[in-house]
Amino acid sequence: MGGLRELAAPFVVPGPSGVAIRTRLRQLTAADEEVLRRVGAHLGTLASRDLKARCHDGLKHDAQAWAARKRELTPLSSARWAGSITKATHEQWALARRGALAHLQNLQAGVRMLRHRLSLPVGAKGSKKAPGGYRSRREWHAKARRLRVLEDRLVRERAAWEAGRVHVVRGGKRLARMRHQLPAAQLTQAQWRARWEAGRWFLRADGESGKRYGNETIRISPDGEVSLKLPVPLSNLANAPHGRYVLTGRVRFAHRGQEWADRVAANRAVAYRIHHDPARGRWYVTASWQKPASPAVPLAAALAGGVIGVDMNADHLAAWRLDVHGNPTGSPRRFCYDLTGTAGHRDAQLRHALTRLLHWARTCGVRAIAVEDLDFTAEKTREKHGGR
């Protein structure tokens, strides 16, 4: 009889550190849309230029270089717009850096696993902890060729990592590559161009506590009036004092609207992002803010009223209510979802299943939901598991 897995100590997952809500910008006039397009395009050009400078600095970047970039952008926009652009650039570069590290680690795991399996005799049996040799000489030869390919990639990625080079595209690599596959994407060149330009616009402003309504750059009043500070070269488009432009339409946040209104009324920081969906011809605004870190609930207190244990499967969540001793009570429940189709459809299916799970947990009166902590940091490469 084989040994059982060691169970790690249970822990309570901390709550969310931030909130993001979105609503649609309605009743915009043609002049409003033109101003948003011009401001987004102008700031997007500055953001692209700043990202290029940040990527050029690589690992040599420091606080002085950051301040120099901000000083260069300020006369072409404003001090707050420049701060938002440089901060977004830094975050984008850091995200690309983390992605490069994850890709490098995945290549290393793949090379290590290929070398191990190629060193075994053809047809050698594997174990629960390590796979065996390949099934045929033909597969062994194909994997030997793949090992050479991965080794070459590993050399290039390691050199790029050590040099501080990252591969990042404003607007997204997927949209950039779609330009060469327009028939497959069922897009015309004009439609692709509209999406590409909208994806590279920059209409994002960080919040600042103590300022009016929590944001001096993109401001939304409690009654839903939206105004933005125009960059210096576009100040002639202002229709309000102090170089501001007030949009015609009003906005209303349905989800967490009262929480947002309380923050705005108290002049607490709220960050905003305005974005355009060319496919639907709609404009949206997203409000986000940070939440104070809440003290973690002790594990014993969370389990005092029982718990719902959840196991995630390919097409459903399997849930069962457990008592304080871990024994199942009542009947198990299933919350099904369909993970086929687009990413948006899959995301909506998961959200719907999780919402139903939370509603059931509330009706049961439990305060905790227990899920398995899946260790995705372990080797999950295709070289280990093959086509499965």
| Same domain flag for 213 and 268 | yes
Per-residue pLDDT of the chain (388 residues; tens, 9 = 90+): 456 667 778 888 887 889 999 999 999 999 999 999 999 999 999 999 999 999 999 999 899 999 999 999 999 999 999 999 999 999 999 999 999 999 999 999 999 999 999 999 998 888 877 888 888 999 999 999 999 999 999 999 999 999 999 999 999 899 999 999 999 989 999 999 999 999 999 999 999 999 999 999 999 999 999 999 999 999 999 999 999 999 998 999 998 999 999 999 999 999 999 999 999 999 999 999 998 877 777 878 878 878 999 998 889 999 999 988 888 988 899 999 998 888 889 999 999 999 999 999 999 888 889 888 776 555 566 666 555 4
pLDDT tens-place string over residues 81-100:
999 999 999 999 999 999 99
Question: Is residue 201 in a domain?
Answer: yes
Question: Is residue 118 in a domain?
Answer: no
| Same domain flag for 307 and 219 | no
3-state SS of 210-276?
CCHHHCCCEEECCCCEEEEECCHHHHHHCCECCCEEEEEEECCCCCCHHHHHHHHHCCCCCEEEEEE
Report pTM: 0.83
- What pLDDT score does 378 carry? 53
C-alpha span between 55 and 248 (Å, rounded):
39
| Same domain flag for 186 and 37 | yes
333 CB burial (10 A radius; 0-12, 13-18, 19+): middle
Q: How many domains does the chain have?
A: 2
Rg for the chain, CA atoms, rounded: 26
Domain housing 37: 18-49+173-290
Looking at the DSSP assignment, which residues form a beta bridge with residue 244? 229, 240
Q: Strand 307-312 and strand 369-371: pairing?
A: parallel
Question: Is residue 382 in a domain?
Answer: no
